[in-house]
Structure 1
Amino acid sequence: MTGRNPAGGIALRSTRVMNLASFLTQASRRHGDEIALVWRDRTWSWADLEARVEAMAAALRERFGVVKGDRILVQSQNCNQLFESMFACFRLGAVWVPANFRQTPDEVAYLAQSSGAVGMICNAAFPDHAAAARRQSNALRFLVSIEPSAFGESYDALVDSHRGQPVAAAPVDRDDPCWFFYTSGTTGRPKAAVLTHGQMAFVVTNHLCDLMPGTTNRDASLVVAPLSHGAGIHQLVQVAKGAKTVLLPTEKLDVPAAWALVERWRVSNMFTVPTILKMLVEDPSVSHADRSSLRYVIYAGAPMYRADQKRILEVLGPVIVQYYGLGEVTGNITVFPASMHAADDSRDLRPGTCGLERVGMSVSIQDADGREVAPGETGEICVIGPAVFAGYYDNPEANAQAFRNGWFRTGDLGRMDAEGFLYITGRNSDMYISGGSNIYPREIEEKILMHPAIREVAVVGVPHEKWGEAGAAAIVLNDGCALTGDELKDWLKGQIAAYKMPSHVEIFDELPKSGYGKITKKLVKEALDARRAGS
């Protein structure tokens, strides 16, 4: 957009920015024959990936009529095709809509419907997800299958048949969407956070500045989490610098295999969540692998217990980097670098901090009226800067709640000291984090209340040794009904994703309520704690 600046009469320049698919094209030009991607017993060079992405982009355009702005839903565990699909969508100016592959068919079908996706790329291992998406979404015109299936055209066959067809990167502006990053809300229904080309270019630069300085094409990154979320952002950063990406050979975390890959490929960085990092360090295989190549082991998504942090530092050395952020801010709120981590309690001068503001980002601790509070006082963590998303897709009510005076409201509570170190003290919502995944109780509660034997329910997060937090369901049965916790969990299977399943169920005669007759989560937690203490 061009125009006149009323303050100074200066003509404004266009907001056009680089299409993110150009990261791959640039890496191919500079490092064409070098290894870009490793998965199982195969490797792909940068030139290989560029050719495959261009061919898939041509197939999406010529075979299915995909144009700029179209949304493409992707359901798959990590594989080369999932990695490629991001860049094929970006290249066309289309929007990549990756699903968490662990979600149920109905949950993924909702993503298809709510995003307005015109097509779906789905791994052959998920026929029920493809069928559910097709049933629920009228906008869905085509299905592409990764590996042979009965429900869609073959991804690899489409690549082979469209090789050599040139597809230039679509022109994009800063605020053109490139990625719908689904994140749940207090209503329990996932919301599509709109990430844009200009925003993500800043995020890539910021990650390289704050999390992995000095990253080059000589580096390698191991992926131990789904590419659909934070790990996908992390790998986009690797492509920007020509660093190779190494995928685990299995769907589930295989710790000995992970350490073997670190040694074989001289892995220098990885993105993890505290639960995964804890498993990596506690497995005996860690002591048998050469880990000397590791420079940055990044963790985010949940707080880490101090005892775990000390153990990890003792095993891996001063290589761990923490950042705090949300999907809406693509992880870019604070950073606690490796140089500030300490295994020695006498050197840990700021226990519990999640670090300092990221470069280019500003954090404000605000009261209920949007006024900034004094250092040391608790309030809501709010943030502004180029990493903040464009808003929730087709959800004006959520946008009105999420922004105030230009600040994005995280919903987390915290305080900031006089030197700018941030400390998270709680959450405005009832959300809890289990194994790095944000879980919102209402969605689970609504499912539980569909059981004919249950009258009331409250799901809260409670401490869990392995996952950090896990769900506990407090239920009240209808008169004359009988139900055990195991029976309820068996009934819930297939209705909610496994990672959302409550770890245990407690039956009450009545749930604690406020003076207004509302179930109070704080009182429910206290009642559950009392039961656990007495058991």
Structure 2
Amino acid sequence: YSYGELAADVYRMANFLSTDLGIKRGDRVAVLSFNRVEYIKLFFALSRLGAILVPLNFRLAPAEFIYFLKDAAPKAIFFDKAHQESVDGFKGKTELNHYICFDEDDTVGRALPKVWSALSAEAPSEVEIGPDDPQLIIYTSGTTGLPKGVILTHGMLTWNAINTNLGWDLRSEDKTILHAAMFYTAGWNVYTLPIFYSRGVNILIQSFEADLILDLIKREGVTVFFGVPTMFQMLMDSPKFASTDFSSIRFMVSGGAPLGQDILETFKTQKSIRIWEGYGLTEAGPNNFIANGKLGTVGHPMPHVDAKIVDPEDNEVPTGEEGEILLRGPHICAGYWHKPEETANAFVDGWFKTGDFGRIDSDGHFSIVGRLKDMIISGGANIYPAEIERAIETHSSVTGVAVIGVPDPKWGEVGKAIVELNPGSTLSFEELRDFLSDRLGKFKIPKYMVTVGELPRTVASGKVQKFILKDKHGRADND
């Protein structure tokens, strides 16, 4: 695709949305699909109309979609053939007006290819759009309560692109591979939209495949690349790694979880590449730091990003001391969809509270040292124990449960459930996995389980003392 060809197709999509579906400024439109070019066309078309894209995580269980669809209340959903069975499953359970299939199959909804050639490629009428208008709603599970829809505005996405272009010196000749799922902020905002901003090249693939990535690096002359540590490990494990020429790569960025020293050393010694470590959230950036600092740091903040480290009373801490990372700037989200209390709690005097621990050294380089939020990062995906615990606690044999993260050589961390059973009850690991299979996405289901007579709890509040469980059960086993 040239930029001109893409623009013509975006206009076709926008005309279809406005004329055929009646989509207008402020409306939401959901998507349940693997990565594909129509996904990008839909995003830009909705943006042109002032409407809002709501990407859905295709890794979720069918029942989990209902909450998102009721919360965001989209007027339409676009989907691919691979997910039409899931879409058919929630028909009648939500108030969607339009079902549109990206593929030439009208079993569940209208087939977009059947009307595509008849759509006008003329530019639609201009719609007044401001920097504070929502452009994306991306759902991220909270450590407590129900999942939250993060409101990513036109201004936020634009300023993240500006920061990324300035901080990482993106150029029109840069090429990247869009492999990250587009229901994550990484799929849009690490490189995709910043590369569009720089007039570079996005190479779109359905999903990450190590051999394919290495082939594209060699064949297409990829210059910049993003991955989570698990992906870099998979590249190293590929039989094609040793023979792949990495000379076109200017830099690679890792995010989502800490990068192991063995991965850093392998890329440095075998491919002469230093992988930069970034830090971001769905709510902020995600490109907040230049990653230009010392090893083990994320470097200085991006050009239009303010960052500071504070104590529990929100006072800045001295250089070298640890505290919570707070971020401020035009690249921050507008809050959470239909959740004013959570939005208010996420900010203090205009600063976004990340919930993560960090420190800053005498050279102004930031380091990420821990997580305040009780979160497991598995293969770069955020898994929130509270959500899993709620699902397990609905089992009739379970009195209580705590889910902790344990080390895993491939995924970094995986979940382990410590379960307190009702007197006289039994529950095997296989039974638990079967019970959760239609309640949680497969990646959220714990990989290990142990039963205990009683969970350790505080006397005052009855909260489970997870630090005790981590000391006793923090191994990758069923003990």
- Coarse TM-score class (shorter-chain normalised): over 0.9
Q: Does 1:523 align with 2:478?
A: no
| Residue 267 of structure 1, CA deviation | 1.2
- Verify the 8 A CA contact 2:152 2:333 in the aligned structure 1: yes
SS in 1 for 2:135: strand
Give the letter for the 1:520 counterpart: Q
Q: Does 1:491 align with 2:432?
A: no
| Residue 464 of structure 1, CA deviation | 1.3
Q: Does 1:191 align with 2:136?
A: no
**Structure 1 CA distance for aligned equivalents of residues 456 and 51 of structure 2:** 49
**What are the within-5 Å matches in structure 2 for residues 326-337 of structure 1?**
326-337=281-292
Q: Does 1:162 align with 2:119?
A: yes
**Structure 2 CA distance for aligned equivalents of residues 126 and 504 of structure 1:** 29
Give the letter for the 2:436 counterpart: L
Number of equivalences: 475
SS in 2 for 1:193: strand
**What are the within-5 Å matches in structure 2 for residues 58-137 of structure 1?**
58-137=15-94
- Verify the 8 A CA contact 1:383 1:407 in the aligned structure 2: yes
- Verify the 8 A CA contact 1:448 1:454 in the aligned structure 2: yes
Task: Say which of 238, 242, 245 aligns to 1:290.
Answer: 245
**Structure 2 CA distance for aligned equivalents of residues 173 and 303 of structure 1:** 36
Residue 290 to residue 169, structure 1, CA distance change in 2 (3 Å): farther
- Verify the 8 A CA contact 1:71 1:96 in the aligned structure 2: yes
Hey, what does 1:28 align to over in structure 2? none
| Residue 281 of structure 1, CA deviation | 2.2
**Structure 2 CA distance for aligned equivalents of residues 143 and 376 of structure 1:** 54
Hey, what does 1:279 align to over in structure 2? 234
Give the letter for the 1:273 counterpart: V
**Structure 1 CA distance for aligned equivalents of residues 470 and 102 of structure 2:** 44
Residue 531 to residue 220, structure 1, CA distance change in 2 (3 Å): closer
Q: Does 1:259 align with 2:214?
A: yes
Partner deviation per Cα, 1:459-508 (whole Å, 9 max, x = no partner)? 01122111111111100122222222122112211211111111111111
Task: Say which of 160, 175, 180 aligns to 1:220.
Answer: 175
- TM-score, normalized by length of structure 2? 0.94
**Structure 2 CA distance for aligned equivalents of residues 214 and 195 of structure 1:** 22
Task: Say which of 166, 175, 178 aligns to 2:135.
Answer: 178
- Verify the 8 A CA contact 1:98 1:181 in the aligned structure 2: yes
| Residue 372 of structure 1, CA deviation | 1.2
| Residue 333 of structure 1, CA deviation | 2.5
Q: Does 1:323 align with 2:278?
A: yes
Hey, what does 1:207 align to over in structure 2? 164
Give the letter for the 1:246 counterpart: I
Hey, what does 1:24 align to over in structure 2? none
- Verify the 8 A CA contact 2:223 2:250 in the aligned structure 1: yes
Partner deviation per Cα, 1:349-402 (whole Å, 9 max, x = no partner)? x55322221111111111222111111222111111111111111111101210
Query: Which runs of 5 or more structure 1 residues have no equivalent in the other structure?
Result: 1-43, 341-349
Give the letter for the 2:467 counterpart: K
- Verify the 8 A CA contact 1:231 1:271 in the aligned structure 2: no
**Structure 2 CA distance for aligned equivalents of residues 320 and 258 of structure 1:** 16
Task: Say which of 287, 301, 316 aligns to 1:372.
Answer: 316
| Residue 214 of structure 1, CA deviation | 4.1
**What are the within-5 Å matches in structure 2 for residues 399-410 of structure 1?**
399-410=343-354
**Structure 2 CA distance for aligned equivalents of residues 409 and 101 of structure 1:** 29
- Verify the 8 A CA contact 1:302 1:436 in the aligned structure 2: yes
Give the letter for the 1:285 counterpart: K
- Verify the 8 A CA contact 1:462 1:470 in the aligned structure 2: yes
Give the letter for the 2:472 counterpart: A
Hey, what does 1:311 align to over in structure 2? 266
| Residue 247 of structure 1, CA deviation | 2.4
Q: Does 1:56 align with 2:13?
A: yes
Partner deviation per Cα, 1:293-328 (whole Å, 9 max, x = no partner)? 111222111111222222232233235222111110
**What are the within-5 Å matches in structure 2 for residues 371-450 of structure 1?**
371-450=315-394
Hey, what does 1:25 align to over in structure 2? none
SS in 1 for 2:60: coil
| Residue 255 of structure 1, CA deviation | 1.4
More deviation, 484-493/408-417: 484-493
**Structure 2 CA distance for aligned equivalents of residues 362 and 154 of structure 1:** 46
SS in 1 for 2:389: helix
SS in 1 for 2:159: helix
Give the letter for the 2:256 counterpart: G
Hey, what does 1:142 align to over in structure 2? 98
Give the letter for the 2:259 counterpart: M
**Structure 2 CA distance for aligned equivalents of residues 530 and 157 of structure 1:** 54
- TM-score, normalized by length of structure 1? 0.85
- Verify the 8 A CA contact 2:414 2:446 in the aligned structure 1: yes
**Structure 2 CA distance for aligned equivalents of residues 63 and 46 of structure 1:** 25
Partner deviation per Cα, 1:230-280 (whole Å, 9 max, x = no partner)? 1222211222222222123x54x3211221122121111222111112211
- Verify the 8 A CA contact 2:156 2:285 in the aligned structure 1: no
Query: Which runs of 5 or more structure 2 residues have no equivalent in the other structure?
Result: none
Hey, what does 1:477 align to over in structure 2? 421
CA-based RMSD of the aligned residues comes to 1.9
**Structure 2 CA distance for aligned equivalents of residues 383 and 166 of structure 1:** 38
SS in 2 for 1:97: strand
- Verify the 8 A CA contact 1:325 1:331 in the aligned structure 2: yes
SS in 2 for 1:326: coil
SS in 2 for 1:328: coil
